């Protein structure tokens, strides 16, 4: 048993491409605005990284309101990538992190391969930015629900284009709204991704039965929160078996136990999104509790549990199912 | 609106008292000295329902005196149902004070406060501040029926002139409170809080009367601190209340979305792009 | 306003292929066993139809335990199609409904086109069975998560084969675990489906962080309950825009308001699954409350609200989002 | 096991009393005459947690006398937390009585009842029935510590010989209660309820002693009435307790899954294919 005083000897660092995160919990894109809004409530230096709200080449107004609906154990959002465009973003939202003791990941969204490459190149030149996340999976902007992350060929194309313009650690964020997430993951890896963020929100819809109108201005939205956790754990588990690059797990994480499910399924780090709306200290609390969990089991590093879910039949003595 | 950042944080408050003001209308007093000390009129908190299993919810700060604050709310769904179950002695996590609050810096002498339904929860503090500064304060207060006109005597006791309206005529004017406002002697400034249709009506009455109005808006919140861009309202692109954002051109008009939770919840009516 | 005494003039019947359902609420497959288990708690004659547990050509033991896990606002199951095989099923589970005043839908699962056709043909000959549902979307049996419902070509093949062997109303049950459910729906319709059941469970996983084992014996399972409702409502909405045949909506329905979301999205009937585990009277209660809802709005038939969700921007005065 | 179907249904019970027997161990008494009247030893109910937002949960019927029944449960998760919040006067929806219950038809004269932890909740009724029929009843009762050996005096008062064991030795034998069973004078019949590892140990002790044992099994339930096939246990294929199902051949052995909620929760140890 590691003594209490030895808690801080436990290695929680995680390598994501060329970047080493001091802590394995991130603040998920779009749930922390420009990174500044939560500073009064939590010490950003104690978080693995803050992933900024996704930025596009040109400014975007985003979707009409309402943009949020609460649903059982979750919420739907359809923000529609409201953002000031890369130019203003570099000048204001990025510049303000110069010299600050926290790790900032830029998130890039776009509507064409060129857009992605353009924004990645500009972001990649900035020292304030430790890594770039490619959001190719926002469910709230494309007309037919089709996004880059729904097509292996498009995924490969956009990742290659980004890879060409930057040496920064490149994280590709995948969508759960696909038949086979593993094939997309493989494509992203072979196109040069350093890591994968799994998963973005699940597409959904809610209707107001009094007015007969969709409860979101954008009609459809993305489901997040505990409701989607089982979907996200499975996605991480499947992606982990398909690729060799690290995975940043996310989707409904509220507690240390939730985060552990993702580590055991194969994630090297986790992102917290919706849970921060209730308590922004969640990412810091999970770090502390992870230390205790590992210490109790005499484990000295987080990496020793990554992907260790034992998928032998839960009850080995028992008769197995008879499918093929 | 007012731009000075107030020192806000997350506080573990303790419930002091609880009253049912009407069916499904609850007032809970809490102890949270650091929060109460810095609260300005029109600010709100994000309250975490006790089970921690549903999202936190935005509630106006009704009273703030000494170390005691209070919340006045309607029980309409899961979260308010959970909050209504709180009893004296229970703990409650509150983040705040949040939002800009009403701008009383012009030192107005004659103010009309318009409250619809639960909007009453956000207008006691501005009324008290204005009265303390010697202003005349008329409260135009509307609700569905007499029962739901909670706390009206309280406002009278504080020194407001209270004008009532109910949908069913069970108290005051039968009809909308904005009809009463329209017919009254024009004030110097209007402050309003209530359902969106009422606020739209207030904006149009204010324009007709040529009086400036501050509206406290409502929308579904997720974060309450400006982090998710879920709670926006369109402003005219040149608005002084616009967040840092390059004005966008579209269809020949100039608009920008501001966050109700962060740049608001109080906006000048004439800057809204409704 | 329809007078209270006029409540029973309201037309709640729904035509699904050649079958007319007296009530628009069904009991979902797998959530009612052989139809008999819930008889002590609810009058089966007051339910649109009971969809029996899926049956296969040969008996199946199903998956090892645990087969159920509770998750936020839902549950995961991995029963693995335990069933006695079509022979025993016809003799016992089907035969017992002879002459009883309730509508019974048989549900067929399989591992090859031949299996489906074989079982459909036998079921189709039985007068106790009012319609056949093709479960081509069970997430708990295939090795790589691939099911017939994940591939438009396979969907077409299996539906055509079933169509050839029976004239009974044919309902095809779709999976949400696909990139584009509308294309699968179109394929099912053109292959001869009379109606579509939308959706089956969403694939998911949960891990026990004490034992590091999956919480299901089958490792992965299917998520059901309120957690998936927004996903299901959207699936119905998208399918309704792609086909002209009726849709039986399902996924997380607990209340009349939930059911109304599905009707407004485009479902002609709804199935209740997980909610019956808490209260088997839900399908009957919804029927009563639907009458009141329609009466209040002076509507004389359920069909007048099917697919009527108004998808114009929720706030028409407002500035629209700027995506393409 | 016993096959007569009992008349079961869904009942709106009223909470009569509530006691905390230890930290996170709660006993609630309820009024539900029709349910209580037909309850047999070893049966259970499905209880709907008050919010109606989480699934219902299986709980053994602890007491059943006159019109009063009771539930004795450990607070371990969401649903039991909600149930623990019930107070006298509150309503509670109960479906039951469900399951087969213990088979006491052989009129055994010397019975060992083995209860581990919360298993105690399902063995008071069989103990009472056996004692009333003049049998000798020894209760072998194990728990983590002395504190958690709730209701042990109750069983003594009823007339049981009570043998205790705790993991930490704070009462009775230090170690497993099955070790005490192993060393005791062999009974004519064993009835057991508790965690699965304990039940496995009971089955093996019973085999060694050559005594027949009935085990009340536990598993996650969804429906509780046999409708979902979620709660199965493998039996030997020729088991008399098997549901209507053609025996399947696999790997040369013969197995069938029975539903714990419907064919059980009580099974003969020698028919389980563990
Ligand atoms: C800045 C601000 C200050 C506020 N201050 C106060 C205050 O002081 N007091 C107060 O009472 N409220 C206040 N509110 C409103 C308050 O936040 C909401 O009433 C509260 O969040 C509702 O939460 P809930 O979970 O109880 O209800 P929800 O379940 O979120 O329901 C909210 C509303 O939506 C409706 N609704 C829910 N589900 C559906 C559905 N499926 N179909 C159609 N309609 C549905 C409900 O009927 C209800 O009217 C404020 C809001 C803001 C933004
Ligand atoms: C026939 C029958 C009779 C029963 N009778 C009784 C009785 O009389 N009294 C009684 O107390 N119980 C009884 N039980 C057990 C009881 O049904 C369960 O304890 C109850 O359903 C738990 O529900 P919950 O929501 O409170 O806990 P859940 O949240 O469902 O948790 C149940 C267990 O799982 C563990 N768990 C939950 N989530 C996780 C996670 N993420 N990772 C790891 N572990 C986790 C919890 O610690 C707990 O031990 C009976 C069960 C059966 C089948
Ligand atoms: C309000 C909101 C806005 C979001 N915006 C973005 C975004 O701009 N870019 C992005 O990659 N993901 C965005 N996401 C997705 C989250 O980063 C996260 O992947 C997802 O919500 C699942 O995690 P959670 O359940 O912890 O929230 C957003 C999520 C929410 C709830
Ligand atoms: C325990 C369980 C077993 C199920 N078994 C089947 C099945 O055999 N065949 C089938 O088509 N669907 C099966 N389903 C899916 C349901 O019929 C339904 O489509 C799904 O659960 C979504 O609805 P719900 O959220 O109301 O449960 C099963 C669902 C559950 C929860
Ligand atoms: S609620 Fe998140 S930005 Fe306002
Ligand atoms: S819990 Fe459903 S069959 Fe037992």
Q: Where do the domains of chain B lie, and which CATH numbers do they carry?
A: 9-98 (2.40.30.10), 110-218 (3.40.50.80), 219-266 (no CATH)
**Tokens 């309409």 -> residue:** B76
Structurally, chain C folds into a number of domains equal to: 1
Structural contact between residues D21 and D82, judged by C-beta atoms closer than 8 angstroms: no
The whole-number pLDDT of residue B64 equals 96
Separation between Cα atoms, residue B122 and residue B191, nearest integer Å: 10
- DSSP state at residue C93: I
Contacts of B224 in chain A (CB under 8 A): 277
At C120, which helix (H) or strand (E)? helix C113-124
Spatial CB neighbours of A3, under 8 Å, sequence gap ≥ 6: none
* A318/D250 Cβ within 8 A: no
Q: Which residues line ligand 1 (CB under 6 A)?
A: A 70, 208-210; B 44, 57-60, 72-74, 76-80, 118, 121-122, 218-219, 221, 265; C 257
Assigned domain for C77 exists? yes
Q: Is D200 on the interface with A (CB under 8 A)?
A: no
The DSSP code for A266 is T
Atom in ligand 6 nearest the alpha carbon of residue C37 = 3
For residues D253-267, average pLDDT: 88
Helices C256-265 and C229-240, packing angle to 10 deg: 30
In whole numbers, what is the pLDDT of chain D averaged over residues?
91
Query: CB–CB of B53 and C72 under 8 A?
Result: yes
Compute the distance between CA of residue A104 and CA of residue A129 in angstroms, rounded to an integer: 5
The answer, yes or no, to whether the previous bond of A199 is cis (omega within 30 of 0) is: yes
Is C147 within a domain?
yes
Decide: D243 in ligand 6 pocket, CB within 6 A: no
CA distance D113 to D126: 9
Provide the pLDDT confidence category of residue C140 given band limits of 50, 70 and 90. Answer: low
Alpha-helical (H) ranges within chain A are 85-89, 113-124, 152-165, 181-190, 229-240, 256-265, 275-278, 282-296
DSSP string, A206-219: -EETTTTEESSTTS
Q: Percentage of chain D with pLDDT > 70?
A: 94
Question: Ligand 5 center to residue A124 CA distance, Å?
Answer: 28
CB B162 within 8 A of CB B141: yes
Residue nearest to atom 22 of ligand 4 (CA): C251
B254 → chain C, closest CA residue: C319
Burial class (CB in 10 A: 0-12, 13-18, 19+), C172: buried
Q: Give the pLDDT score at A146.
A: 55
Spacing, Cα C47 to ligand 6 middle (Å): 21
**What pLDDT digit, counting tens, does each position of A29-82 carry?**
999 877 778 888 888 999 999 999 999 999 888 898 999 999 999 999 999 999
Total Cβ atoms within 10 A of residue B19: 12
Q: C135: helix, coil or strand? A: strand
Residue A312 located in a structural domain = no
A99 in contact with C, Cβ within 8 Å: no
Which CA distances in Å does B256 have to A221, A314, B259, C300?
22, 55, 10, 45
Measure Cα distances from D25 to A141, B168, D77, D150 in Å: 51, 52, 12, 8
Q: What is the mean pLDDT of residues C80-104?
A: 91
Name the residue with the closest Cα to ligand 1, atom 21.
B57
Taking 80 as the threshold, does the pLDDT of residue A322 lie above it? no
pLDDT tens per residue across span C263-286 = 999 999 999 999 999 888 899 999
| Pairing mode, strands A74-77 and A220-224 | antiparallel
More confident residue, A192 or B77: A192
Three-class secondary structure of residue A44 per DSSP = helix
In tens digits, chain B (274 residues) has pLDDT values of 444 455 788 899 999 999 999 999 999 999 999 999 999 999 999 999 887 777 899 999 999 999 999 999 999 988 899 899 899 999 999 999 999 999 999 999 999 999 999 999 999 999 999 999 999 999 999 999 999 999 999 999 999 999 999 999 899 899 999 999 999 999 999 999 999 999 999 999 999 999 999 999 999 999 999 999 999 998 887 777 777 666 655 444 577 889 999 999 999 999 998 7
Closest residue to D229, CB basis, from C79, C280, C281: C79
- Among candidates C178, C230, C260 on the partner chain, residue whose Cβ is nearest the Cβ of A205: C230
Rounded distance from Cα C179 to ligand 4 centre (Å): 21
* Residue A213 is assigned to a structural domain of this protein: yes
Name the one residue in this structure whose structure tokens are 């536990």.
D218
- pLDDT surpassing 90 at residue D220: yes
* Cross-chain residue pair A65–B9, CB shorter than 8 Å: no
- A279–B248 C-beta distance less than 8 A: no
Residue D31: what pLDDT?
96
* Residue located nearest, by CA, to atom 42 of ligand 2: C208
Q: Using CB atoms, list chains with 3+ pairs below 8 Å to chain C.
A: A, B, D
Neighbours of D, requiring at least 3 CB pairs below 8 Å, are A, C
Of the candidates C202, D273, B146, C25, which has an alpha carbon nearest to the alpha carbon of residue A315?
Answer: D273
D199, D234, D236, D247, best to mutate vs chain A, most A CBs in 10 Å: D234
Does residue A320 fall inside a structural domain? no
Query: Is B234 within 8 Å of C72 when comparing Cβ atoms?
Result: no
Using the Cβ of B11 and the Cβ atoms of chain A, whether some distance falls under 8 Å is answered with no
**What ipTM was assigned to the predicted interfaces of this complex?**
0.93
- Residue D248 has a pLDDT of 59
Local confidence band at D249 (pLDDT 50, 70, 90 cut-offs): low
Could you identify the residue written with the tokens 């994480």?
A: A253
Nearest CA in chain B to C319: B234
Among all chains, which residue has been given the structure tokens 């921060």? A276
Token pair 């501040």 is found at B129
B240 lines ligand 3 (CB under 6 A): no
D244 contacts on C by Cβ (under 8 Å):
84, 88, 92
Residue A260: give its domain's CATH number.
Answer: 3.20.20.70
Considering CB atoms only, which of A72, A317, A319 is closest to D255?
A: A319
pLDDT confidence band for C312 (50 / 70 / 90): low
pLDDT at C77 over 70: yes
Q: Does A64 touch chain C (CB under 8 A)?
A: yes
Express each pLDDT in D187-215 by its tens digit: 999 999 999 999 999 999 999 999 999 99
Indicate yes or no: CB of B250 within 8 angstroms of CB of C317.
no
What φ, ψ does residue A164 adopt, rounded to 5°?
A: -65, -25
Closest ligand 6 atom to the C-alpha of C277?
A: 2
Considering only residues C1 and B137, tell me which one the structure prediction assigns the higher pLDDT: B137
* Secondary structure, 3-state, C33-88: CCCCCCCCCCCHHHCCEEECCCECCCCECCCCCCCEEEECCEEEECCCCCECHHHH
pLDDT for C41 equals 85
On average, the pLDDT of chain A sits at 90
Residue C32 near residue C50, CB atoms below 8 Å: yes
Position C293 pLDDT exceeds 60: yes
Put simply, whether B8 touches A (Cβ < 8 Å) is yes
Is residue B158 within 8 Å of B127, Cβ to Cβ? yes
**CA-based nearest residue to B135, from B102, B166, B183:** B102
- Whether C88 is covered by a domain: the verdict is yes
CB-based contact D53 A317, cutoff 8 Å: no
A67 CA closest ligand 3 atom index: 1
**Atom of ligand 5 at shortest range from CA of B221:** 1
One-character DSSP codes across C210-249: TTTEESSTTSEEEEESGGGHHHHHHHHHHHHTT-SS-EEE
In this predicted model, what pLDDT tens digit does every residue of A1-36 receive, in sequence order?
A: 445 556 668 999 999 999 999 999 999 999 987 777
Q: B255 touching C, CB under 8 A?
A: yes
Q: What angle do CA C308, C309, C311 make, to 5 degrees?
A: 125
Query: What single-letter DSSP state applies at residue C12?
Result: -
pLDDT of residue C93 exceeding 70, the answer is yes
Residues in Cβ contact with D253 at an 8 Å cutoff, skipping those fewer than 6 apart: A319, D237, D273
Query: What pLDDT was estimated at residue D254?
Result: 72
* pLDDT at A139 > cutoff 70: no
Supply the pLDDT for residue A32: 84
Pairing assessment for the beta strands D25-31 and D68-74 based on DSSP bridges: antiparallel
Ordered DSSP codes for chain D? ---PPP--EEEEEEEEEEEEEETTEEEEEEE-HHHHHH--TT-EEEE--TTS-S--EEEE--EEETTEEEEEEE--SHHHHHHHT--TT-EEEEEEEES-----TT--SEEEEEEEGGGGGGTHHHHHHHHHTT-EEEEEEEESSGGG-TTHHHHHHHT-EEEEEETTSSSSEES-HHHHHHHSPP-SEEEEES-HHHHHHHHHHHHHHT-EEEEE-----SSSSSSS--SEEEEETT-TT--S---EEETTEEEEEEETTTT-SEEEGGGB--
Average pLDDT over residues D241-267: 77
Size of interface A-B (CB pairs under 8 A): 104
Residues 6+ apart with CB under 8 A from A67: A77, A78, A79, A80, A216, A217, A218, A221, B220, B229, B230, B231, B232
- CA of A78 from ligand 3 middle (Å) equals 10
Is A317 part of a structural domain of the chain?
no
Q: Looking at the predicted structure, is the pLDDT value of residue C322 above 60?
A: no
Residues 281-310 of C with CB under 8 A from A: 305, 308-310
Q: Is residue C228 part of a domain?
A: yes
Q: Which of B55, B244, B250 sits opposite A277 (nearest CB)?
A: B55
d(CA A115, CA D147): 66
Residues with CB under 6 A from ligand 4: C 28-31, 53-54, 77, 79, 81, 107, 135, 138, 173, 200-201, 224-225, 228, 250-253, 272-275; D 222, 228, 230
- Of all atoms in ligand 4, which is nearest to the CA of residue C201? 20
Residue A232: Cβ within 10 Å count = 29
Closest residue in C to D48 (Cα–Cα): C278
Q: What is the pLDDT of residue A317?
A: 36
Buried residues in A188-202 as b, exposed as e (16+ CB within 10 A): bbebbbbbbbbbbbb
Any A CB within 8 A of C120 CB: no
Structural domain range at position A187: 4-304
CA D16 to ligand 2 center in whole angstroms: 24
Provide the pLDDT confidence category of residue A147 given band limits of 50, 70 and 90: confident
Q: Mind listing the pLDDT tens digit for each residue in A109-123?
A: 998 899 999 999 999
Q: Who's near C222: CB < 8 A, 6+ residues apart?
A: C76, C77, C78, C138, C139, C140, C200, C201, C202, C203, C204
Cβ C322–B250 below 8 Å, yes or no? yes
Active-site annotation holder among A31, A102, A120, A138 = A138
Give the DSSP H/E element, type plus range, for residue C202: strand C202-205
**Chain A: residue whose CA lies nearest to B220:** A68
Distances (CA, A) of B128 to B40, B181, B242, D114: 11, 20, 29, 69
Q: What is the pLDDT of residues B109-137, one digit of tens each?
A: 999 999 999 999 999 999 999 999 999 99
- Per residue in D112-165, pLDDT (tens digit) is 999 999 999 999 999 999 999 999 999 999 999 999 999 999 999 999 999 999
Q: How far apart are CA D101 and CA D126, in angstroms?
A: 9
């Amino acid at each position: 048993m590691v003594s209490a005083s030895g808690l801080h000897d436990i290695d929680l660092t995680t390598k994501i491409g060329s970047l080493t995160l001091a802590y394995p919990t991130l603040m998920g894109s779009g749930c922390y605005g420009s990174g500044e809004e939560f500073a009064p409530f939590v010490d950003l230096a104690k978080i693995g990284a803050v992933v900024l709200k996704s930025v596009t080449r040109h400014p975007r107004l985003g979707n009409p309101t309402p943009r949020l609906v609460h649903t059982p154990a979750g919420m739907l959002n359809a923000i529609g990538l409201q953002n000031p465009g890369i130019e203003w973003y570099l000048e204001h939202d990025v510049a303000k992190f110069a010299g600050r003791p926290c790790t900032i990941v830029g998130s890039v969204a776009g509507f064409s391969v060129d857009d992605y490459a353009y924004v990645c190149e500009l972001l990649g030149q900035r020292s304030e930015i430790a890594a770039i996340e490619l959001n190719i999976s926002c469910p709230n902007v494309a007309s037919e629900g089709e996004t880059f992350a729904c097509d292996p060929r498009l995924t490969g194309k956009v990742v290659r284009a980004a890879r060409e313009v930057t040496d920064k650690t490149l994280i590709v964020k995948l969508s759960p709204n696909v038949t086979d997430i593993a094939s997309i993951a493989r494509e992203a890896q072979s196109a040069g991704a350093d890591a994968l963020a799994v998963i973005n929100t699940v597409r959904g819809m809610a209707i107001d039965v009094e007015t007969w109108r969709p409860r979101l201005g954008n009609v459809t939205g993305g489901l997040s929160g505990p409701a989607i956790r089982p979907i996200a754990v499975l996605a991480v588990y499947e992606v982990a078996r398909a690729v060799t690059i690290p995975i940043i797990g996310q989707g409904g994480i509220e507690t240390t136990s939730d985060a552990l499910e993702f580590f055991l399924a194969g994630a090297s780090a986790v992102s917290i999104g919706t849970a921060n709306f209730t308590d922004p200290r969640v990412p810091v609390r999970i770090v502390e509790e992870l230390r205790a969990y590992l210490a109790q089991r005499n484990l000295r590093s987080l990496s020793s549990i990554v992907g260790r879910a034992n998928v032998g039949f839960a009850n080995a003595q028992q008769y197995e199912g008879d499918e093929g | 609106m007012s731009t000075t950042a107030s020192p806000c944080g997350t506080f573990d408050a303790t419930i002091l008292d609880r009253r049912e003001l009407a069916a499904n209308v609850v007032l809970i007093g809490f102890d949270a000295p650091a929060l109460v000390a810095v609260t300005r009129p029109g600010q709100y908190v994000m309250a975490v329902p006790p089970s921690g299993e549903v999202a936190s919810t935005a509630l106006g700060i009704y009273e703030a005196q000494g170390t005691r604050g209070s919340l006045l709310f309607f029980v309409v769904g899961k979260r308010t149902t959970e909050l209504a179950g709180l009893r004296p002695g229970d703990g409650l996590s509150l983040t705040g004070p949040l939002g800009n609050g009403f701008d009383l810096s012009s030192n107005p002498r004659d103010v009309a406060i318009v409250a619809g339904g639960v909007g009453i929860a956000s207008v006691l503090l501005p009324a008290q501040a204005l009265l303390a500064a010697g202003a005349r304060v008329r409260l135009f207060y509307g609700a569905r029926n007499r029962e739901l006109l909670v706390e009206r005597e309280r406002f009278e006791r504080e020194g407001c002139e209270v004008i009532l309206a109910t949908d069913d005529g069970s108290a005051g004017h039968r009809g909308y409170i904005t009809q009463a406002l329209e017919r009254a002697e024009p004030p110097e400034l209007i402050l309003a809080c209530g359902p969106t249709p009422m606020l739209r009506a207030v904006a149009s009455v204010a324009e007709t009367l040529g009086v400036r109005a501050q509206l406290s808006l409502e929308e579904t919140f997720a974060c309450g601190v400006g982090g998710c861009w879920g709670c926006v309202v369109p402003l005219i692109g040149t608005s002084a209340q616009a967040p840092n954002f390059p004005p966008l051109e579209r269809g020949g008009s100039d608009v920008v979305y501001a966050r109700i939770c962060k740049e608001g919840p109080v906006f000048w009516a004439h800057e809204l792009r409704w």
